[in-house]
Amino acid sequence: MHRPIWPILILTVLCDSSITLGQYYFVMGYYRERVFPWLVEHLLSGDELEVIRDRVVGRATGHVIEIGSGTGTNFLCYAKTITSLTTVDLNPGMNKRARPRIKYLEFPVDTREISCDDLPMNAASFDCAVTTLTLCSLVDIEKCLREIYRVLKPGGHLLFLEHGLSDAEDVERWQRRITPLQRQLCDGCHLNRPIDALVRNAGFVIEEMSNYYLEKVPRVFGYMYEGIARK
């Protein structure tokens, strides 16, 4: 059986100072669009996370926008009674994996391969927004959250399930140390973002939130923020 070549390529790019800029972008582009979507689909689909996804995403109602829809892992978690779903993800590889899942849905889906920091939708277009394991990777998270706030109707809700900055000092120290490498390997993912503060700073009022560690994930990666915020 052949061993996959991508781990060797990635390590070479990160460790070899003689790699040219063009080679770097070629290999990392391949990794981002071909390898990383596969990793996301397999690493973020365990039983524990599936139960939590059902709990969070299943509360969405009306016209829904999902930011960072990825490979469509959340699609079957939505209630069949939602009015519509608009998905937003900039990664072509993620969207390619998500498309086959759309045919099983009983509500209309509008797929947008765009960034969330400048959404083309009108203000007050959606009843609900959903983000799961997405806010960690946004380049301009403050701007994206302001855009989510803008496109929600007054009284609309943001449902979020995110990992982020731990409240334990020892875990936080390691999160800050590891984040530079994490950003390279996981498409910009930060381990140390204070999700609750960022959501509030965008204008939202957090109505419910719980923090906990995932049971089967190292604590540095698995400190979770699960909640509902209102516009």
pLDDT recorded at residue 46: 66
DSSP secondary structure letter of residue 2: P
What would the mean pLDDT of 180-201 be, rounded to a whole number? 89
| Confidence at residue 153, expressed as pLDDT on a 0 to 100 scale | 99
**Averaged pLDDT, 189-202:** 96
Say which amino acid occupies 136: C
Reported as a pLDDT band with limits 50, 70 and 90, residue 117 is: very high
**More reliable by pLDDT, 19 or 107:** 107
The burial class, CB within 10 Å (0-12 / 13-18 / 19+), for 193 is buried
pLDDT for position 6: 43
If you average pLDDT over each of 101-105, 122-126, 220-224, which comes out highest? Answer: 122-126
Residue 155: count of CB within 10 angstroms of its CB = 9
User: How far lies 87's CA from each of 10, 63, 73, 175, in Å?
Assistant: 29, 11, 12, 30
Mean of the per-residue pLDDT values of the chain: 86
Q: Which of 85-94, 148-157, 171-180 has the highest mean pLDDT?
A: 148-157
Region 87-103 average pLDDT: 88
Which residues in 117-148 are b (16+ Cβ under 10 Å) and which e?
Answer: bebeeeeeebbbbbbbbbbbbbeebeebbebb
- At 186 the pLDDT is 73
Mean pLDDT of 155-163: 98
Between 27 and 61, the higher pLDDT residue:
61
**Whole-number pLDDT of residue 31:** 54
The distance in angstroms from the start CA to the end CA of the chain is 53
Answer whether residue 185 shows pLDDT above 80: no
- The long-range contacts involving 119-125, CB below 8 angstroms and separated by at least 24 positions, are 119/88, 119/147, 119/148, 119/150, 119/151, 121/65, 121/86, 121/151, 122/151, 123/150, 123/151, 124/151, 124/152, 124/153, 124/154, 124/156, 125/63, 125/65, 125/151, 125/152, 125/153
For residue 29, pLDDT over 60 is answered with: no
